[in-house]
Structure 1
Amino acid sequence: MTPIAVATAAAAGLVAQLLDGGLGMGFGTVATALLAGIGLAPVVVAAAAASAALVAGIVSTAAHTRFGNVHWPTALPLGAAGAAGGFTGAWALSSLAGLDAATPVTSAALMAVGAVLAWRGYKGDLPIGKPRKGFAVPTGLVGGFAGAVSGGWGPVTVPILMSVSRLEPRKVIGSAAFAQTLAAAGALLSFWLFAPQSLGVAMPLAEGLAIGAVIAAPVAAWLTGRLPAAKLTATIGMLTIALHLRTLLTDLPLPWPAATALYLALAAAWALALVGPRKRPTPQIPEQRPAPAEAEA
Structure 2
Amino acid sequence: MELSILLYVLVGFVAQIIDGALGMAYGVSSNTFLLSLGLPPAAASASVHMAEVVTTGVSGISHWRLGNIDWKLVKRLLIPGVIGGVAGAYLLTSLDGDIIKPYIAGYLLIMGVYIIYKAFTKDGHVNDGTHTARVSFLGLVGGFCDAIGGGGWGPVVTTTLVARGKNPRLTIGSVNFSEFFVTFAESVTFVLTLTFSQYWQIILGLLIGGAIAAPLATRVTKKLPLKALMILVGTLIVILSIRTIYLVLV
Q: TM-score range by the shorter chain?
A: 0.7 to 0.9
Distance 1:41 1:171, change over 3 A: same
The 5-angstrom pairing of residues 33-52 of structure 1 reads: 33-52=32-51
The structure where helix makes up a greater share of residues is: 2
Residues 1:196 and 2:194 aligned together: yes
CA contact (8 A) 2:105 2:244 kept: no
* Conservation of the 8 A alpha-carbon contact between 1:159 and 1:240: no
Instruction: Tell whether 2:110 aligns with 1:107.
Output: yes
The residue aligned with 1:130 is 128
Aligned-residue CA RMSD (Å): 2.7
- TM-score of the two chains, using structure 1 as the length reference: 0.71
Task: Give the number of the structure with larger relative contact order, counting CA–CA contacts within 8 Å between residues 6 or more apart.
Answer: 2
- Contact preservation (8 Å) 1:47, 1:188: yes
Hey, what does 2:159 align to over in structure 1? 159
- Alpha-carbon separation, structure 2, partners of 1:107 and 1:36: 15
Shift of 1:169: 1.0
Question: How many Å separate the matches in 1 of 2:238 and 2:8?
Answer: 24
Question: Hey, what's the Cα distance between the residues in 2 that align with 1:111 and 1:216?
Answer: 25
* Aligned equivalent of 1:258: none
The whole-number CA distance in structure 1 between the counterparts of 2:83 and 2:183 is: 10
Q: Within 5 Å, which residues of 2 pair with 1:9-158? A: 9-97=8-96, 98-99=99-100, 100=103, 103=106, 107=110, 111=113, 114-120=116-122, 126-134=124-132, 135-153=134-152, 154-158=154-158
Higher Cα Rg, which structure: 1
Name 1:262's counterpart in structure 2: none
Evaluate the alpha carbon distance shift between residue 24 and residue 146 of structure 1 in structure 2; reply closer, same or farther with a 3 A threshold.
same
User: Residue deviations 1:109-157, cap 9 Å, x none?
Assistant: x84675354244xxxx612033314222111111111111212322222
Partner amino acid, structure 2, of 1:163: A
Cα shift at 1:245: 3.9
Structure 1's unaligned 5+ residue stretches are: 254-297
Q: SS of 1:68's equivalent?
A: coil
Normalised to the residue count of structure 2, the TM-score between the two structures is 0.83
Q: Where does structure 2 lack aligned partners over 5 or more consecutive residues? A: none
| Paired-residue identity, % | 29
